[in-house]
Structure 1
C-alpha cells in the first residue's frame, strides 16, 4: 500500500512539473464546412466534415445579428446530449439569454458519454470519438473565420461537459481564458467510478477511452493533477446539495430521470467540488465557487447558474 501511494505521488508531481503528454495528431486534411443553415438571425447550424471524427459533425452557434469581432464561449452538453440540437437550447433559455450579447456561443451536438475527449480506440457502440482534436484543432479556426471570432475563448459545460471543459483547458491552456463547470466534477481521480459507470450504462466500453483506470492516460486527463496549468484563468464552478429546491415542481421532459437520480448525483458532485476547491486553494489559484443550499442535478438549476456565471465569464473574455 505504501509503495502504491508513493507511486501515485510521484506521478502527480511529474505531471504537475512537466504537464500532461498531449500527443498532437499528425497533420492531415483540414476540416471543411459542408453547409451552414441559418435558423434565425442569431442562430446558425454549421455542419463540419471532420477528418478526426471521420464524419460530419453538427455545431450550433448563437451569435449576434450584427457584424463585428467577438470572443467565443464553447458550451458543452451532458452525458445525454440532445438530438438535432444541444440540450442547452432545448432545455434552457440559452438562446434568448445570449441574444444581443457580443459573443459566439458554440454548441457541439452529439457526443453521448464521450467526455469530449480523444478515445484510444473506436468503440463498437459509439464509433470514433476524437472530440478533443475536433474541439481544439479543427473547430476554432472555422468559428473565427465564419462568425467573426477574435480568437479569445472560454469553455464550459454541465456535468460531463463541465468535467470535459476543465480537462480540455488543462491540456490546452493556450486556448482558453476562462472555464466554467455547472454541477461538474473536475477531479477525474475522485470520479473514476462514476465515469466508468456512466459510459458502460450507455452501452460503451469505458476502457476504450483512456485505457484501464490508474494508467498514465487517466492521470493525463485529471484536472486536479494538472491544476497548476489553470493558473491565471478565470474559473467558475457551481453545485447544489441534492436537497430538493424550487425547480422540482416543474414538469419538463429533461427532468424525468433526475426525479430519482438528481439528488444523489448532486451530493457526489458537491463532494467533488469541495475537494477541487481545496486543491485550488492549496495552489493559491483563485476561483469563484457558487454553493447553493438546495438543488438537484437538473437543467433548471443549470439555467440559473449559466445566468449567474456570465458576468464572471464575460469579463474574462471581453464579451
Structure 2
C-alpha cells in the first residue's frame, strides 16, 4: 500500500478526518482485513501453530499514524485492544520493514495510557519506529497464569510479535519499555526470551519478588482488582519455582545481550505533585519510596553478570505520570539509537 498523509499541527490536534485520511484509512483497513491478507493467512494457518492464528478483527484509525486494533487471540481466548503508532515512512515505503518499540502500561490502567498521559505521538513524529501499546489487564502481571488463562506473556511475546511482523512489517530490532507493573513485565519478557529485545527500560517497578515491600505492593494491588495471586503464580511456598521464574532479580544473567535501563524516584513530592489529592499523593509517595533500594541492588547484580546497565535515581519523584513522561524523554534517544543500529534485520519466526 502506498499512501502519503500529511496533516498540519492544527489538524493533528483536532484529529480531523480529511478526505485523504479517509481514503488512506480505507486502503489500510482493506489491507489488514480484506481477503488475501492477514485474515486469509490466519485461516490457512496450521492448527498446530495457534500463535499464527491471532488476527486483527477491527481497525479504528484515530489519526494519520495512530490506530486502535482489535486482536483475536487464541492464547487469551478473547479479543485484546492494541494501540499502534505507525513509523514515519510506513505509507511511503511499502517494502520497508521497521524496528519496534513495545510500551507496557502499569496496573489499574490500560493500552491508552501512554498516549493519554505522555507526548509519545510527538516524540515518534519523525521516527521510523513502530510503536506498539497492547492492553495487559488491570492486574494481569504480564504472565501466563497458572490457572490456564489469561496468557498475557504468550499473547504479547509470541502472537503480537508475529502479528506485527506479518501485517505491519516489523523487523527483529525490538525494544520494550514499561512502568510500574509494566516495567516488571518488560524485565520478565526480556529475561524469558533472550535475544528478543535489544533494549529494555523499567520505570518505577518492583524488581525483586522476595522483597517484602514488593510482596505487599502486589498483595494490595491484586486485592484492589479482585485478583488472587495464587491464580497467577500459585502459592509462594508450594510454587516457589514459578515465583522465582518471574522474579527479575533472581535471573540477572538472563539479561546478557540486552541493554537494561532502570529508574525510580525517592518518593518525595515535587512541584508536579502540588495539586494532587492528599490520599493519591500519599499512596504514590509510599509506592515509590520503597523502590530505589531493591532497584539499586538489582542494577549491581546485572552489572556483576556482565549486563550493560544504565540507571537514573531522581529526587524528588513520586509514583506518577509526570516523572514517567520526563523519563521517557530522557531515554528516547537511547531507544532510537539502539533500535536503528539493529534495524537491518528482518522478521523472525518465533517459537511459543
Other-structure match for 1:189 = 210
Distance in 2 of aligned mates of 1:97 and 1:257: 32
1:81 aligns with 2:102: no
Q: Which structure 1 residue ranges, 5 or more long, are not aligned? A: 1-25, 123-127
CA deviation after TM superposition for structure 1 residue 247, in Å: 1.0
Distance in 2 of aligned mates of 1:228 and 1:42: 38
User: Does the Cα contact within 8 Å between 2:88 and 2:127 map onto a contact in 1?
Assistant: no
Q: Taking structure 1 as reference, are residues 256 and 153 closer, same or farther at Cα in structure 2, changes over 3 Å only?
A: farther
CA deviation after TM superposition for structure 1 residue 113, in Å: 1.0
Cα-to-partner distance string for 1:49-101 (whole Å, 9 max, x where unaligned): 0011011111001122432321111110000113xx42111112122222221
Distance in 1 of aligned mates of 2:222 and 2:197: 27
Aligned residues: 284
The partner residue of 1:219 within 244, 248, 252 is: 244
Other-structure match for 1:71 = 99
Other-structure match for 1:235 = 260
User: Does the Cα contact within 8 Å between 2:190 and 2:197 map onto a contact in 1?
Assistant: yes
Q: If the length of structure 2 is used for normalisation, what is the TM-score?
A: 0.76
Aligned ranges for residues 164-175 of structure 1 at < 5 Å? Answer: 164-175=185-196
User: Does the Cα contact within 8 Å between 2:253 and 2:306 map onto a contact in 1?
Assistant: no
Other-structure match for 1:266 = 288
Distance in 1 of aligned mates of 2:195 and 2:161: 13
CA deviation after TM superposition for structure 1 residue 193, in Å: 3.2
Aligned ranges for residues 82-121 of structure 1 at < 5 Å? Answer: 82=110, 85-121=111-147
Q: Taking structure 1 as reference, are residues 180 and 142 closer, same or farther at Cα in structure 2, changes over 3 Å only?
A: same
Other-structure match for 2:81 = 58
1:177 aligns with 2:198: yes
1:246 aligns with 2:268: no
CA deviation after TM superposition for structure 1 residue 35, in Å: 1.9
Q: Which structure 2 residue ranges, 5 or more long, are not aligned? A: 1-47, 91-95, 344-352
Distance in 1 of aligned mates of 2:242 and 2:141: 14
Q: RMSD of aligned C-alpha atoms?
A: 1.9
Cα-to-partner distance string for 1:182-219 (whole Å, 9 max, x where unaligned): 11122222223322332122111111001011411001
Structure 1 runs of 4+ off > 4 angstroms?
Answer: none
Distance in 1 of aligned mates of 2:200 and 2:322: 20
CA deviation after TM superposition for structure 1 residue 32, in Å: 1.3
Other-structure match for 2:314 = 292
User: Does the Cα contact within 8 Å between 2:217 and 2:287 map onto a contact in 1?
Assistant: no
Cα-to-partner distance string for 1:241-282 (whole Å, 9 max, x where unaligned): 01111211256xxx8864121111111111221121122233
1:276 aligns with 2:276: no
User: Does the Cα contact within 8 Å between 2:69 and 2:82 map onto a contact in 1?
Assistant: yes
Aligned ranges for residues 114-153 of structure 1 at < 5 Å? Answer: 114-121=140-147, 128-153=149-174
Distance in 2 of aligned mates of 1:182 and 1:63: 24
